[in-house]
């Protein structure tokens, strides 16, 4: 791939981004966004089950959900490859039946990211669910609202700060997921080479120092921006709720 | 008509209560904190399940035993005003009010949104969020919200408890005016006797999970079961009377066979029924008619009962037409006067002593139509 740097004056210390870097940025944003969209409903269901349903094995499910926080990301990627790779237990079936391939694709990178950021999202949602006053749901019951009605009209809106915070934190964390992505989806330029993978590649390239620095700074800015945005959104929503 | 006969064990506490609430009117559920009042109305609302027993409302069985039918709260149409309002924080006042109304659908004879807003003075609050309201305003919204869901029964769980004392009195007139407008039974839970005296027609006394007594307020005001739940100085008979005419100091009230001078805070039309509590410690007993006293209220009657109460004696005097007053005197005074049941006596108390303890009774819900 030819390396030409658009409007830059100095080829080494330019502040503007190369097409490859822009591509990595766009890819990171896309992967993180897809992973959030994919895991949001599942995380919500999981938070609900863990927060509200008493059943044997709840502690086990809780531990399972939190596992990616403590496992080496490479191990998560490896397990995904075993399960969903072309030769994997489910991957083969998915490929034969739906023609779906996850390993080494952008969707695969998003899936790996989703698994890694899942606990962050569940934690934030569960915390906000625990803060929802059950008394308000009782009040809704006496006013004629059935279970689904209650969830949609009372519980869900009151969980909104936690849902948004969880989604934004997961998005910010997803921008930088490295180990699971490179193991499951490999480092394919334009397909799975997200910011951290591009940064890693630049570090392996003999004169890639300036590029590595720019990518590192970009990751830093995105991460910080994401966290600040999460905080701002939560505050804003809380204010409208009067808390 | 609400019929309740329930058992529920919660840890060490066991509620075993039976009561009946007439088809219209306010029943005061009175008891100390921890006596099971809230548990009982939560069982009625269906928010908790009983261990055994039944709840019937207007002929429909809402709950029967453990295995029998159990109508979930969302299909009971029982309005509930919680101690802590429980307004939905993410909804404006208007949407809080509409929450139950939308789910209940339109119905004949129900109070509509506009009328409710007028009745409870909610117009300036409609656009606000619950956290922008004062405690009293919150309870007014909660009351409106519950009633707009067109309930068949209204439960009020100490609605004034979370409001600071200075603003508590502001809500009472709203409750009073609604009482006359409603055609459904109301259960009013409180541990404040004054609230119950102002609003309730009947009292249910609850202590340690058991119903001690149920009956009309004036009847229960004479009972030992109620006295046991009050500080000694709050014991006193509740009298109901009809305003005969206005005087310079207030009104003249016909009670039993006599009349009382009552200073009232609001002007009332003759014919209005008034309820007042005459504290037993304020009543003096004389065994013969006395002249030349500044005391304005003298009721002639007969001693019906003498009961030792702590370090004194409670004397119950029938003053005609079933109306009774209580007087608390010392044991020595009782012996010196040689009081005994059936003896003719005069009960004396100052007119001012009734100030603050007189309550207007809504015409529609009083036990009998107002006399003219």
Q: How confident is the model at residue B19 (pLDDT cuts 50, 70, 90)?
A: very high
Q: How far apart are CA B96 and CA B126, in angstroms?
A: 9
Strands (E), B60-121: 60-64, 78-81
From B149's Cα to the closest Cα of chain A, the distance in A is 6
Nearest CA in chain B to A141: B74
A146 shares contact with chain B (CB less than 8 Å): yes
Q: How confident is the model at residue B358 (pLDDT cuts 50, 70, 90)?
A: low
Question: What mean pLDDT is predicted for residues B246-254?
Answer: 82
Mean per-residue pLDDT over chain B, rounded: 87
pLDDT of residue A92: 84
Radius of gyration of chain A (CA): 21
Whether the pLDDT of residue B25 is over 70: the answer is yes
Nearest by Cα to A213 from A225, A192, A198: A198
Question: Which CA distances in Å does A118 have to A68, A105, B125, B350?
Answer: 8, 20, 42, 76
Strands (E), chain A: none
Say if A2 falls within a structural domain: no
Q: Nearest Cβ partner of A135 from B73, B86, B103?
A: B86
Q: How far apart are CA B75 and CA B68, in angstroms?
A: 16
Question: Which CA distances in Å does B140 have to A123, B95, B168, B171, B174?
Answer: 37, 14, 12, 7, 8
pLDDT of residue A237: 82
A232 shares contact with chain B (CB less than 8 Å): no
Read off the pLDDT of residues A17-64 as tens digits, 9 standing for 90 and up. Answer: 788 889 999 999 999 999 999 999 999 999 999 999 999 999 999 999
Nearest by Cα to B315 from B296, B287, B289, B292: B287
B311 vs B103, higher pLDDT: B103
Q: How far apart are CA A238 and CA A243, in angstroms?
A: 5
From A98's Cα to the closest Cα of chain B, the distance in A is 43
B173 shares contact with chain A (CB less than 8 Å): no
Whether the pLDDT of residue A4 is over 50: the answer is no
pLDDT of residue B272: 80
A144 shares contact with chain B (CB less than 8 Å): yes
Question: What mean pLDDT is predicted for residues B92-108?
Answer: 90
Nearest by Cα to B328 from B344, B341, B311: B311
Nearest CA in chain B to A156: B90
> Among the CATH numbers 1.10.3720.10, 3.30.870.10, 3.30.365.10, 2.40.50.100, which is that of B234-360?
2.40.50.100
From B71's Cα to the closest Cα of chain A, the distance in A is 12
Exposure string for B73-112, b = 16+ CB within 10 A, e = fewer = bbebbbbbbbbbbbbbbbbbbbebbbbbbebbeeeeebbe
Contact assignment for A135 to B78 by CB distance below 8 Å: no
B2: number of CA atoms within 13 Å, CB side? 29
Read off the pLDDT of residues A62-100 as tens digits, 9 standing for 90 and up. Answer: 999 999 999 999 999 999 999 998 888 888 888 888 888
pLDDT of residue B191: 87
Query: By CB neighbour count within 10 A (0-12 exposed, 13-18 middle, 19+ buried), where does A191 fall?
Result: middle
The domain in which residue A139 lies consists of 19-54+65-241
B162 shares contact with chain A (CB less than 8 Å): no
Domain B2-230 class in CATH:
alpha beta
- Domains B2-230 and B234-360 fall in the same CATH topology: no
Say if A59 falls within a structural domain: no
Let me know: does A183 contact A199? Beta carbons within 8 Å. Answer: no
Percent of chain B surpassing pLDDT 70: 93
Enter the tokens of residue B282: 């304020």
Q: How confident is the model at residue B351 (pLDDT cuts 50, 70, 90)?
A: low
- Residue A235: phi, psi to the nearest 5? -60, -45
Read off the pLDDT of residues A127-171 as tens digits, 9 standing for 90 and up. Answer: 999 999 999 999 999 999 999 999 999 999 999 989 998 999 999
List CB contacts (< 8 A) between A143 and chain B.
74, 99-100, 103, 145-146, 149
Strand ordering across the sheet containing B2-10: B60-64, B52-57, B2-10, B13-21, B210-216, B202-207, B25-30, B185-190, B153-157, B78-81
User: Residue B155 forms beta bridges with which residues?
Assistant: B80, B187
Q: How confident is the model at residue B267 (pLDDT cuts 50, 70, 90)?
A: low
pLDDT of residue B266: 66
Contact assignment for A135 to B84 by CB distance below 8 Å: yes
B252: number of CA atoms within 13 Å, CB side? 9
pLDDT of residue B140: 94
pLDDT of residue A5: 46
Domains contained in chain A, number: 1
Q: Nearest Cβ partner of B131 from A139, A149, A242?
A: A242
Question: What mean pLDDT is predicted for residues B223-251?
Answer: 87
B328 shares contact with chain A (CB less than 8 Å): no
B103 shares contact with chain A (CB less than 8 Å): yes
pLDDT of residue A18: 86
pLDDT of residue A198: 92
Whether the pLDDT of residue B179 is over 50: the answer is yes
Q: What is the CATH number of the domain that holds A80?
A: 1.10.3720.10
pLDDT of residue B163: 84
B108 vs A199, higher pLDDT: A199
pLDDT of residue B182: 84
Contact partners, residue A163, CB within 8 Å, separation at least 6: A40, A44, A124, A125, A128, A156
Q: How far apart are CA A79 and CA A85, in angstroms?
A: 9
B129 shares contact with chain A (CB less than 8 Å): yes
Whether the pLDDT of residue B280 is over 60: the answer is yes
Contact assignment for B86 to A157 by CB distance below 8 Å: no
Q: Nearest Cβ partner of A142 from B79, B88, B90?
A: B79
Number of cross-chain residue pairs from A and B with Cβ atoms under 8 Å apart: 71
- When mean pLDDT is compared across A131-140, B65-74, B78-87, the lowest value belongs to B65-74
A140 shares contact with chain B (CB less than 8 Å): yes
B79 shares contact with chain A (CB less than 8 Å): yes
Whether the pLDDT of residue A211 is over 50: the answer is yes
B82 shares contact with chain A (CB less than 8 Å): yes
pLDDT of residue B197: 84
- What is this model's ipTM? 0.85
Residue with tokens 């309002």: B85
CB atoms under 10 Å from CB of B318, counted, come to 20
A157 shares contact with chain B (CB less than 8 Å): yes
Contact assignment for A144 to B86 by CB distance below 8 Å: no
Q: Which of residues 55-74 of B touch A (CB under 8 A)?
A: 72-74
Q: How confident is the model at residue A101 (pLDDT cuts 50, 70, 90)?
A: confident
Domain ranges of chain B: 2-230, 234-360
């Amino acid at each position: 791939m030819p390396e030409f740097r658009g409007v830059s004056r100095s080829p080494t210390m330019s502040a503007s981004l190369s097409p490859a870097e822009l591509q990595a940025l766009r890819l990171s944003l896309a992967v993180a966004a897809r992973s959030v969209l994919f895991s949001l409903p599942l995380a919500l269901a999981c938070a609900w089950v863990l927060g509200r349903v008493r059943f044997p094995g709840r502690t086990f499910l809780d531990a399972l959900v939190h596992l990616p926080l403590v496992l080496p990301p490479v191990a998560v990627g490896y397990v995904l490859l075993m399960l969903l790779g072309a030769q994997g237990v489910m991957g083969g079936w998915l490929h034969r039946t739906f023609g779906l391939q996850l390993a080494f694709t952008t969707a695969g990178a998003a899936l790996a990211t989703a698994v890694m950021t899942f606990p962050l999202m569940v934690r934030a949602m569960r915390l906000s669910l625990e803060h929802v006053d059950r008394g308000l749901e009782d009040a809704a019951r006496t006013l004629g609202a059935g279970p689904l009605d209650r969830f949609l009209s009372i519980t869900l809106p009151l969980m909104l700060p936690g849902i948004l915070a969880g989604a934004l934190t997961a998005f910010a964390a997803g921008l930088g997921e490295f180990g699971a992505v490179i193991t499951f989806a490999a480092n394919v330029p334009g397909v799975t080479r997200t910011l951290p993978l591009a940064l890693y590649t630049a570090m392996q390239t003999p004169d890639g120092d300036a590029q590595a620095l720019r990518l590192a700074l970009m990751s830093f800015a995105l991460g910080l921006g994401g966290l600040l945005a999460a905080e701002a959104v939560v505050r804003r929503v809380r204010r409208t709720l009067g808390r | 008509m609400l019929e309740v006969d329930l058992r529920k064990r919660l840890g060490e506490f066991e509620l075993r209560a039976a009561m009946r609430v007439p088809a219209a009117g306010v029943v005061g559920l009175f008891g100390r904190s921890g006596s099971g009042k809230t548990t009982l109305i939560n069982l009625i609302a269906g928010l908790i399940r009983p261990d055994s027993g039944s709840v019937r409302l207007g002929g429909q069985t809402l709950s029967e035993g453990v295995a029998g039918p159990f109508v979930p709260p969302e299909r009971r149409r029982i309005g509930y005003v919680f101690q802590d309002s429980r307004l939905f924080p993410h909804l404006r006042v208007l949407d809080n009010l509409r929450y139950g109304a939308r789910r209940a659908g339109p119905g004949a004879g129900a109070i509509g949104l506009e009328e409710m807003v007028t009745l409870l003075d909610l117009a300036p609050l409609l656009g606000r969020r619950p956290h922008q309201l004062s405690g009293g305003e919150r309870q007014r919204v909660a009351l409106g919200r519950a009633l707009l869901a067109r309930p068949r029964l209204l439960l009020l769980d100490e609605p004034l408890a979370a409001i600071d004392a200075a603003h508590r009195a502001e809500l009472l007139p709203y409750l009073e005016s609604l009482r006359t407008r409603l055609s459904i039974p109301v259960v009013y839970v409180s541990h404040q006797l004054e609230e119950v005296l102002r609003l309730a027609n009947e009292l249910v006394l609850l202590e340690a999970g058991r119903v001690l007594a149920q009956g009309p307020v004036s009847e229960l005001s004479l009972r030992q079961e109620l006295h046991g739940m009050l500080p000694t100085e709050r014991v006193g008979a509740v009298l109901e009377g009809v305003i005969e005419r206005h005087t310079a100091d207030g009104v003249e009230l016909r009670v039993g066979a006599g009349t009382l001078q009552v200073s009232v805070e609001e002007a009332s039309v003759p014919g209005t029924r008034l309820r007042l509590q005459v504290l037993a410690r304020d009543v003096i007993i004389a065994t013969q008619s006395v002249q030349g006293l500044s005391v304005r209220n003298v009721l002639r009657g007969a001693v019906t009962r003498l009961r030792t109460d702590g370090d004194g004696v409670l004397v119950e005097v029938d003053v005609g037409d079933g109306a009774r007053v209580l007087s608390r005197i010392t044991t020595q005074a009782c012996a010196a006067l040689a009081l005994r049941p059936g003896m003719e006596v005069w009960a004396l108390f100052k007119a001012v002593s009734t100030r603050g303890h007189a309550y207007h009774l809504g015409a529609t819900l009083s036990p009998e139509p107002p006399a003219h």
